[in-house]
Amino acid sequence: MPSHGSITKAGKVRSQTPKIEAKPKKGVSPRLRNRYNFVKRVIEAPAQSSERS
């Protein structure tokens, strides 16, 4: 089974790429955001009328 290129060239491009620092994350994690939405939607929901269509 032929290989795609020699093993001596492995990782060449990645090692030449300049390192870019990660941007700081903003906002809350999705799990916490879902919890906030649940509280607003279910726990603190306004009382609805008994008739729904």
pLDDT at position 48, please? 74
Give the DSSP letter of residue 9. G
The two tokens of residue 18 are 């300049």
Please, are residues 36 and 28 in contact by the beta-carbon 8 Å criterion? Answer: yes
pTM equals 0.44
| Cβ burial 20-35 (10 Å sphere, 16+ → b, else e) | eeeeeeeeeeeeeeee
CA atoms within 13 A on the CB side of 53: 0
Per-residue pLDDT of the chain (53 residues; tens, 9 = 90+): 666 777 888 888 988 999 999 999 899 999 999 999 999 999 998 877 666 55
Question: What is the spatial distance between Cα 7 and Cα 15, in angstroms, rounded to a whole number?
Answer: 15
